[in-house]
Amino acid sequence: MRRYFGRKLLIYGLTFFVAVTVNWMIPRFMPGDPVASMVARANITQPAAVEAMRRYYSGLFGFDQPLWQQYLNFWAALFRGDFGLSIWLFPHPVSTVIGGAVPYTLALIVPSVLLSWVVGNRLGAYAARRKLLDNTVLPVGYVLTAMPYMWLAVLLAWALGVLAGVFPVAGGYSFSMRPNWSWTFLLDLLHHWTLPFLSLFLVALGGWAIGMRNMIIYELESDYSNYLAALGAPARLIRKYAFRNAVLPQITGLALQLGVLVAGALVTEIVFAYPGLGSLILKAIQNKDFFLLQGAFLFIVIGVLIANFIIDIVYVVVDPRTRAGMAGARA
Amino acid sequence: MSLRVSELKVYYRTLKGEVRALDGLSFGLADGEILGLVGESGCGKSTLGKSLIRLDGRMRHAGGTVVLDGEELPIADDRRMNDYRFHQVSLIPQYAMSALNPTRKIRRMVTELLRSRGVTLDTAELESRMSQVGLPREVLDRYPIELSGGMKQRMVMVVSTLLDPSLLIADEVTSALDVSTQKAVARALLGFRDSGYVKSMIFVTHDLALTHHIADTIMVMYAGRLAEKAPADVIVKAPRHPYTRLLLDSLPEVGVRHTDRRLTGIAGSPPSLLDPPAGCRFRDRCPIAGEECAEDPPVAEVAAGHYVACWKA
Ligand SMILES: Nc1ncnc2c1ncn2[C@@H]1O[C@H](COP(=O)(O)OP(=O)(O)OP(=O)(O)O)[C@@H](O)[C@H]1O
Ligand code: SF4
Ligand SMILES: [Mg+2]
């Protein structure tokens, strides 16, 4: 067990290391003088700000220092939680800007991923045993998964937002409001959250339902199911086993899909101008804000790695075979 | 008589038509008898086994009856047949290695299975039967993945016979095992019969030599039909059907174990069961086939308990 998690941690550590290194390299190996072009593009008129920025960036890039020194400095800053200052929202530190966006992204991703997974699995399991349901779940599921995130988002925004006017189509909360802890504001938040959540939820739902349906059918035809049926076990018991065993590959699937889901969430945020990391990344690109971009990417990488690690742990808890394998099979 | 199968016909529905895997099979099995069932791959051995306990979705009961202990088994009625499964008829499947749910500890699986059949687990009895086949009781607290192939096989044997069925079908239980394990499994099956855990047994195998050791009678099947059935010694020493003789000839010396010696030594292959030819189904490969063989040979009792389906037997 220790060795298993040790190995996993090592892999995650390596991934993180590579991600940070690539992140460090991007602005440095871009053609041209990044400092000059950044300051120029920042479109800042106050001379004091321009001077501060130039000094700040030169110091941070540290072009007078050897490369390895720059690299080490980058790591040191990272561990202090220092991602530099945003160019677009100068002089706010990148970490503050990201910190403001992360809650929105998490509030979208976590419920939509978990709920679509749970509901999709249930739906798929029912579909596997009811012909009528199967005939609807399967085609609807295929249409949903085949749909790009952006598409469904635009469709929903148009239908429920513009045509029906039930939900707002942009922003995290109404422009007329200031964030506070009142019920009206929370309701407003929820109102704005619904459409982006729904489009993420629906696209992912189809995939999980189809995957589960196929896995269950496969499990119901497996040898242990046949054996139980031959011994007259009721369908209830057989289906219980099948569901339990079919969920395992779905957990692995969740880990594999995580990157896609996050990417989908970022795109969806942009469609709905939802103030999360996705919109932030778009703004950072538009404003050539390297530091913000770096920070946002690092944050996403860390988030995905952590989520993967959690899934790993869950998998070990629910699949006895991995545990048995780790203990070394006793013959 | 414990089991009486009469004119049993079971077909597989396929896209190309019906595969007549069992095409009018009749035989009997006495209380306490172990019947060895041999024949080439595809002759319908597993189909017979499944027909006696559970038809799968593609199988169709096309005729004939099965009577066990004086009661006709409703083999075509999945729901009614359920009462007989496990209690009266049980099965050690050909796929015993993968028959146990991989994500349940064995004790829990057995408990849940028994409870679903309205029986409470008698742990002492289970453990005593396990020790009879050389399984330590710790096995109950392991996952199937933690057992060797032979252990899984024996575990399935114990589970399948836990309710003391009247008839046990053991389908190729020894095929995937090495020689010494095969012997142990065969001995364990004999022990189960002698302890009264099962009344009678159909022991399906490719391996004539091994069958000879454990079976009282041997039935040779060919292309969905009975070719010959007789006491084990008679089949081995004085076979009357040309197919049985060829089977025996393909073994260098009966009574000696031949690892993985499969019944492959006969030239030609059995006819397609999709649209089997009229007449004796062995005709194409039979060295002594004659005019009369264009017609179906009936099963005749040539001596007491010795049945042969051949015009020239
Ligand atoms: N699910 C199926 N669908 C169609 N045909 C089948 C199916 N299962 C078996 N058959 C056919 O039925 C015939 C008998 O098959 P069966 O499995 O009973 O053979 P067997 O004697 O047990 O062979 P083996 O020794 O290889 O296990 C074969 O011709 C086979 O092709
Ligand atoms: S009936 Fe004819 S063809 Fe068939 S086994 Fe006998 S001799 Fe051969
Ligand atoms: Mg078979």
Predicted confidence at residue A328, as pLDDT, reads: 46
Both A71 and A126 in one domain: the answer is no
User: Does residue B119 sit at the A interface (CB-CB below 8 Å)?
Assistant: no
Contacts of B99 in chain A (CB under 8 A): 223-224, 226-227
Does A131 touch chain B if contact means CB atoms closer than 8 Å? Answer: no
Residues A38, A165 within the same domain: no
Residue B310's Cβ-count burial label (10 Å; 0-12, 13-18, 19+) is: buried
Note the pLDDT tens digit of each residue in A70-128. 888 888 888 887 777 777 777 788 888 898 899 999 999 999 999 999 999 999 998 88
Distance between Cα A272 and ligand 1 center (Å):
59
Please say which residue of A47, A80, A113 terminates a domain. A80
Q: Is the pLDDT of residue B71 over 90?
A: yes
Using alpha carbons, select from B54, B58, B36 the residue that is nearest to residue B45.
B36
Strand B167-171 and strand B89-92: pairing? Answer: parallel
Q: For chain B, what are the domain ranges?
A: 3-251+267-280
The answer to pTM > 0.90 is: no
The answer, yes or no, to whether any atom of ligand 1 lies below 6 A from the CB of B46, is yes
Average pLDDT over residues B76-82: 93
Write down the pLDDT at residue A64.
67
Both A45 and A134 in one domain: the answer is no
Q: Are residues A11 and A45 in the same domain?
A: no
Nearest to A168 by CA among A184, A157, A179: A157
Q: Name the one residue in this structure whose structure tokens are 């195998």.
A: B205
Instruction: Over range A258-286, report the average pLDDT.
Output: 89
| ipTM of this predicted structure | 0.90
Helix A94-127 and helix A290-318, axial crossing angle in degrees, nearest 10 = 40
Nearest atom in ligand 2 to the alpha carbon of residue B243 is: 5
pLDDT score, position A330: 39
Q: What is the pLDDT of residues B219-274, one digit of tens each?
A: 999 999 999 999 999 999 999 999 999 988 876 554 445 544 444 567 888 899 99
Are B145 and A329 an interchain contact pair (Cβ–Cβ within 8 Å)? yes
Highest mean pLDDT among A56-65, A133-142, B128-137: B128-137
Cross-chain residue pair A248–B83, CB shorter than 8 Å: no
Residue B307 has pLDDT above 50, yes or no: yes
Distances (CA, A) of B310 to A69, B225, B229, B251, B302: 94, 12, 12, 22, 10
Same domain, A12 and A48: no
Q: How many domains does chain A have?
A: 2
Confidence of residue A215 (pLDDT cuts 50, 70, 90): very high
| CA dihedral of A210, A211, A216, A221, whole degrees rounded to 10 | 100
Identify whether residues A67 and A11 lie together within a single domain. Answer: no
Q: In this structure, how many other beta carbons lie within 10 angstroms of the beta carbon of residue B312?
A: 15
Distance from the Cα of residue A67 to its chain's centroid:
33
Asked if the Cβ–Cβ distance from A237 to B148 is below 8 Å, we say: no
How do residues B157-208 score in pLDDT, each as one tens digit? 999 999 999 999 999 888 777 777 788 888 889 999 999 999 999 999 888 8
Q: Which one-letter amino acid corresponds to residue B180?
A: S
For residue A3, name the pLDDT band (cuts at 50, 70, 90).
confident
Predicted confidence at residue A43, as pLDDT, reads 64
Are residues A89 and A68 part of one domain?
A: no
**B244 in contact with ligand 1, CB cutoff 6 A:** no
Q: What is the pLDDT of residue A60?
A: 62
3-state secondary structure of B262: coil
Q: What residues flank ligand 2, with Cβ below 6 Å?
A: B 242, 280, 282-283, 286, 288-289, 293, 297, 310-312
B10, B19, B52: residue to mutate for ligand 1 pocket, most atoms within 8 A of CB: B19
pLDDT for residue B101 is more than 50: yes
Residue with tokens 């506070």: A180
Question: Whole-number mean pLDDT of chain B?
Answer: 90
For residue B43, give the 3-state DSSP assignment.
coil
How many angstroms separate the CA atoms of A322 and B175, rounded? 29
SS3 B55: coil
Helix (H) or strand (E) holding B170: strand B167-171
- Kindly state whether residues A209 and A222 are assigned to the same domain: yes
Q: What is the DSSP-derived secondary structure letter of residue B77?
A: -
The per-residue pLDDT for range B288-300, each reduced to its tens digit, is 998 999 999 999 9
> Are residue A9 and residue A47 in the same domain, yes or no?
no
User: What confidence category does residue A61 fall into, taking pLDDT thresholds of 50, 70 and 90?
Assistant: low
* CATH number for the domain harbouring residue A290: 1.10.3720.10
Q: Which residues of B touch A321 (CB under 8 A)?
A: 102-103, 143, 145
Cis omega before residue B231 (within 30°)? no
pLDDT at A91: 74
Give the max Cα distance, chain A.
85
Tell me which of B103, B108, B117, B148 to substitute to probe the interface with A (most A C-beta atoms closer than 10 Å): B103
SS3 for B283?
A: helix
Q: Do B116 and A236 touch (CB under 8 A)?
A: yes
Instruction: Look at residue A331 in the predicted model and tell me its pLDDT.
Output: 35
- Asked if B280 and B293 touch (Cβ cutoff 8 Å), the reply is yes
Q: What is the mean pLDDT of residues A60-72?
A: 74
Same domain (yes/no): A122, A43: no
SS3 B81: helix
For residue B104, what is the nearest residue in chain A, using CA coordinates? A320
- A68 shares its domain with A134: no
Edge-to-edge strand list for the sheet holding B71-72: B17-29, B3-14, B59-68, B71-72
pLDDT of residue A327: 54
Residue-level pLDDT at A23: 81
User: What contacts A178, CB < 8 A, 6 or more positions away?
Assistant: none
Residues paired with residue B204 on neighbouring β-strands, in sequence order:
B37, B171
Q: Which residue in chain A has the smallest CA separation from B55?
A: A230
Do residues A123 and A234 both lie within one domain? yes
Reported as a single tens digit per residue, the pLDDT across A300-325 is 888 888 898 888 888 888 887 777 66
A75 is in which domain, residue-wise? Answer: 34-80
Residue type for position B224: G
> CATH number of the domain at B3-251+267-280, out of 1.20.1250.20, 3.90.1150.10, 3.20.20.140, 3.40.50.300?
3.40.50.300
